[in-house]
């Protein structure tokens, strides 16, 4: 019996946590300390905080992966959720490992904006687009993240002669089109942008650089 108990403890999943970007929310875990076991299977359940019954996630019931997509199950973004994972090996089941409480609206990370750069007479026009959520409108288009949060765009110019770290903030606000004026002809300018969420005191990663020569 003791051996079974040891096996139960050794396969119990570790570090069960939600990762979420633009409300695409996945549960991640690490295998127990018996890492060599290739045949370990995992079982995932979830529930809204305060509910008594756990729901099985059927796509993640007896899987070998260490990731389970719970985007659809956590679509009520103001609600707090829990998930839990157990493992089985050779007919022995571990105890459940519980995640922390996860509230999508508070905890999802916002991705960077999409940036398009067009240059015109001594100026650059920057077009910004917020990332989209996985949730759809009735007609089928994906709902942008601006629907859920008050987002601000921050636009930075890197003058290529300087190094990448030397970014100058040239705009902060909600406009999707920004004109950056009074630039020098023949100089290469690079634009990066990110999104800030003042209410949550958070910001996205930087977008990739978009460069142009005037």
Tokens found for residue 145: 């993240």
Instruction: Tell me the per-residue pLDDT of 55-98, one tens digit each, with 9 for 90 and over.
Output: 999 999 999 999 999 999 999 999 999 999 999 998 899 999 99
Left, alpha or beta for 186 (phi > 0: left; psi -120 to 50: alpha)? left
Instruction: Tell me the per-residue pLDDT of 143-199, one tens digit each, with 9 for 90 and over.
Output: 999 999 999 999 999 876 556 678 889 999 999 999 999 888 888 889 999 999 999
Pairing status of strand 168-173 against strand 67-69: unpaired
CATH top-level class for 2-107?
mainly beta
Segments making up each domain of the chain, as ranges: 2-107, 114-213
| Same fold? 2-107, 114-213 | yes
What value does the mean pLDDT of the chain take? 92
pTM for the whole structure: 0.88
Alpha helices in the chain (DSSP H): 2-11, 104-107
Does domain 114-213 match CATH 2.60.40.10?
A: yes
């Amino acid at each position: 019996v003791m051996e079974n108990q040891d096996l139960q403890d050794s396969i119990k999943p570790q570090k069960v946590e939600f990762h979420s970007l633009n409300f695409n929310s996945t549960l991640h875990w690490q295998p127990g300390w018996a890492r060599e076991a290739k045949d370990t299977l995992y079982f995932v359940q979830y529930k809204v905080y305060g509910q008594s019954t756990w729901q099985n996630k059927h796509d993640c019931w007896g899987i070998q992966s260490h990731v389970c997509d719970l985007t659809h199950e956590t679509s009520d973004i103001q609600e707090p959720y829990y998930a839990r994972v157990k493992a089985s090996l050779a007919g022995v089941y571990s105890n459940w490992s519980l995640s922390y409480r996860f509230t999508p609206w508070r905890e999802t990370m916002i991705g960077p904006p999409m940036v398009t750069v067009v240059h015109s007479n001594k100026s650059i026009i920057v077009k910004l687009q917020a990332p989209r959520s996985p949730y759809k409108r009735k007609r089928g288009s994906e709902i942008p993240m601006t629907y859920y949060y008050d987002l601000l765009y921050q636009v930075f110019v890197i003058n290529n002669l300087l190094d990448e770290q030397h970014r100058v903030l040239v705009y902060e606000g909600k406009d999707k089109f920004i004109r950056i004026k009074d630039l020098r002809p023949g100089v290469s300018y690079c634009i990066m942008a990110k999104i800030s969420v003042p209410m949550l005191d958070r910001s996205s990663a930087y977008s990739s650089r978009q460069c142009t020569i005037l």
